[in-house]
Chain A
Amino acid sequence: MLTLIEALKESMDLILTLDQRLIDIAILTLKITLSSLALSTIIGMPIGTMLGLAGRIPARGLVMALLYTGMGLPPVVVGLLVFILLSRSGPFGYLEWLFSPKAMILAQTVIALPLIIGLTMAAVGSVNPALSQQLRALGATRWQTAKTIVAETKPGMLAAVAATYGRIVAEVGAVLLVGGNIETKTRVLTTAIVLETRKGAFALALGLGFILLSLTFTANIILLRFGNWNDSRK
């Protein structure tokens, strides 16, 4: 019990004094996570939208099954596959990406993509089908209909981004495998927490944990705000 209170106090000190180690790790974490989030959003959102709009697609069941499996991909398995691909004895070893932030961004993007696609698809699909019929009846072109439906799903899209962000920023297995947890180079909040806990540096680990929590919290607040703002403007 004493350890917990002491560690809490110490971790607060570390945060309040803006301990350089904590800040550096937090910045690196944000850089990597936001890069993967941007990549997966740019690639995944159009795909998810198309799938959602396309109501009837061939082999829909199979596509859905693959997508849902992808959404539940165990991150360590993704890490393992990326590791094998980027290893010197693997096909893409010549890139020399292994144990660099690039490898971590790649792994996180793979984890994030199915989530973004699936959640976007669900958001688009959840728009009342009557709306599309009504629009067509009013003489809207296909393109105009699609645009209106997408505008309608903005909060859902934001939720998709927020959920994906939450998942990849908290991910530990894949980034540990492909990043190597190298101090100041590939050590992020989650891998640092694992290491510091094992070293018995509970205060530092807790401080890192608080920062991780507050990063997720802040991002969700921003995204929710943004979503509401869009709603109220209508």
Chain B
Amino acid sequence: MTSTRSMSVFTTYLLILAILTAGCSSSNNFNSTLRLATTTSTENSGLLEYILPAFEKELDVSVEVIAVGTGQAIALGKSGDADALLVHAPDVEIQFIAEGHGTERRNVMYNDFVIVGPKHDPASINEMSNAAEAMIKIFVSNEPWASRGDESGTHMKEKDLWSITGIEPLASDDWYFALGQGMGATLQYANETDSYTLSDRATYLTQSDMLPFLDILIGGKNISNNPDPNLYNPYSIIPVNPSKSILVNHKLAIQFSDWLLSDETQNRIAKFRLSELGQPIFYPFVR
């Protein structure tokens, strides 16, 4: 009696497993799936959700987005676990291409970085025009700094800026907080703890409603008011080298790259949340 019951339970499990895996294999159809490794900023801002459906419909394909930091996206490209990368760390990208991991690198869009911090700005950096100098002032004032600490494009930019200042922050310093998390989580952290941090403008603008204690202190109201050219933030698309693995869908990656740079998509990128925020979140490269 009990053995019959346990048998039927077992069969039910098998059935459920079969259904689940069936679902997986149909959505995982090799030729029609593009796996895009990208940064948290493109995903968190909602841009991909806004532009990708058109691509999926046009070519009858599906795009799987893995939103991680740029460093992690680069690692996924090197191991052949992604078909294309949409990232923002020029130096690392150039090295990635030079080492033969990607086939080409094309600029897609740009925006800028900003330094955000507590509204009352205890380090008084608001009137300054140079990010690195502002960071020195934050350091001297002994105000807390929140770092992404995850090898993302934003974290790499932050490290570049610190190297200009000549300060070498250590994770064990009592003013330096290396979170190892995405931009959204880092902004939330800064909002809760009165910390300063470096953010891409896109993510900050998207979440600013939920960040009542923060303000942009270096970077101005929009990109044309940003006083520091060091805060320029370009995004590129890189198809992964198909020699990495037979599973890399290079053909679709190239199609995706072309599609991103088409007039139509570039126009759509420029219009993304434009009317709602009064400024584009991402500026297209091709006008």
Interface residues of B in 52-107 (CB under 8 A from A): 68-69, 71-72, 74-76, 78-79
Once A198-B69, A198-B150, A200-B72 are accepted as A-B contacts, the answer to whether A184 and B79 lie under 8 Å apart by CB is no
Total interface residues on B, CB under 8 Å, equals 26
With beta carbons under 8 angstroms apart, the residue of B76, B180, B189 that contacts A187 is B180
Task: Tell me whether A180 and B72 are in contact (CB under 8 A).
Answer: no
**Chain A residues with CB below 8 A from B78, complex form:** 200
Task: Tell me whether B69 and A183 are in contact (CB under 8 A).
Answer: no
**Chain A residues with CB below 8 A from B181, complex form:** 176, 180-181, 195
Roughly how many angstroms separate A195 CA and B68 CA in the complex, as a whole number? 10
Say whether B192 faces chain A, with CB atoms less than 8 Å apart: yes
| B178 to A, closest residue via Cβ | A183
Roughly how many angstroms separate A199 CA and B151 CA in the complex, as a whole number? 7
Say whether B172 faces chain A, with CB atoms less than 8 Å apart: yes
Once A182-B177, A182-B178, A184-B171 are accepted as A-B contacts, the answer to whether A198 and B72 lie under 8 Å apart by CB is yes
Roughly how many angstroms separate A89 CA and B210 CA in the complex, as a whole number? 11
Task: Tell me whether A181 and B180 are in contact (CB under 8 A).
Answer: yes
**Chain B residues with CB below 8 A from A87, complex form:** 192
Task: Tell me whether B179 and A180 are in contact (CB under 8 A).
Answer: yes
Contact flags B150-193 to A (C-beta < 8 A → 1, else 0): 11000000000000000000011000011111000100010111
Once A181-B179, A181-B181, A199-B71 are accepted as A-B contacts, the answer to whether A98 and B149 lie under 8 Å apart by CB is no
**Chain A residues with CB below 8 A from B71, complex form:** 199-200
Say whether A225 faces chain B, with CB atoms less than 8 Å apart: no
Task: Tell me whether B75 and A199 are in contact (CB under 8 A).
Answer: yes
Contact flags A145-183 to B (C-beta < 8 A → 1, else 0): 000000000000000000000000000000010001111
| A86 to B, closest residue via Cβ | B192
Say whether B213 faces chain A, with CB atoms less than 8 Å apart: yes
**Chain B residues with CB below 8 A from A198, complex form:** 68-69, 72, 150
Roughly how many angstroms separate A182 CA and B185 CA in the complex, as a whole number? 11
Interface residues of A in 196-224 (CB under 8 A from B): 198-200
Say whether A49 faces chain B, with CB atoms less than 8 Å apart: no
Chain A proximity of B240: nearest CB distance (Å): 14
Roughly how many angstroms separate A212 CA and B213 CA in the complex, as a whole number? 38
| B147 to A, closest residue via Cβ | A183
| B194 to A, closest residue via Cβ | A88
Interface residues of A in 86-101 (CB under 8 A from B): 87-89, 93, 98-99
Once A88-B213, A184-B171 are accepted as A-B contacts, the answer to whether A200 and B178 lie under 8 Å apart by CB is no
**Chain B residues with CB below 8 A from A195, complex form:** 150, 180-181
Roughly how many angstroms separate A234 CA and B151 CA in the complex, as a whole number? 58
**Chain B residues with CB below 8 A from A3, complex form:** 79
With beta carbons under 8 angstroms apart, the residue of B72, B172, B179 that contacts A199 is B72
Interface of chain A, helix or strand or loop or mixed? loop
Roughly how many angstroms separate A61 CA and B72 CA in the complex, as a whole number? 49
Roughly how many angstroms separate A187 CA and B150 CA in the complex, as a whole number? 13
**Chain A residues with CB below 8 A from B149, complex form:** 183
Roughly how many angstroms separate A191 CA and B185 CA in the complex, as a whole number? 14
Task: Tell me whether A185 and B177 are in contact (CB under 8 A).
Answer: yes
Roughly how many angstroms separate A210 CA and B168 CA in the complex, as a whole number? 31
**Chain A residues with CB below 8 A from B171, complex form:** 182-185
Task: Tell me whether B79 and A200 are in contact (CB under 8 A).
Answer: yes
Chain B proximity of A198: nearest CB distance (Å): 5
**Chain A residues with CB below 8 A from B189, complex form:** 99, 180
**Chain A residues with CB below 8 A from B72, complex form:** 198-200
Task: Tell me whether A99 and B79 are in contact (CB under 8 A).
Answer: no
**Chain A residues with CB below 8 A from B68, complex form:** 198
**Chain B residues with CB below 8 A from A176, complex form:** 181
Roughly how many angstroms separate A180 CA and B182 CA in the complex, as a whole number? 11
Chain A proximity of B176: nearest CB distance (Å): 9
**Chain B residues with CB below 8 A from A181, complex form:** 179-181
Chain B proximity of A175: nearest CB distance (Å): 12
| A96 to B, closest residue via Cβ | B193
With beta carbons under 8 angstroms apart, the residue of B69, B172, B178, B192 that contacts A98 is B192
Roughly how many angstroms separate A198 CA and B71 CA in the complex, as a whole number? 9
Task: Tell me whether A184 and B172 are in contact (CB under 8 A).
Answer: yes
| A177 to B, closest residue via Cβ | B185
Q: Which residues of B contact A (CB under 8 A)?
A: 68-69, 71-72, 74-76, 78-79, 149-151, 171-172, 177-181, 185, 189, 191-193, 212-213
Contact sample, A vs B, 5 pairs, CB 8 Å cutoff: A181-B181, A184-B172, A195-B180, A200-B72, A200-B79
List 9 additional A-B contacts (Cβ < 8 Å) besides A198-B68, A198-B72, A199-B150. A88-B191, A89-B212, A99-B192, A176-B181, A182-B171, A184-B172, A199-B69, A200-B71, A200-B74
Q: Give 10 nearest A-B pairs by CB, closest first.
A: A200-B75, A183-B171, A183-B178, A195-B180, A198-B72, A184-B172, A181-B180, A184-B171, A182-B177, A88-B192
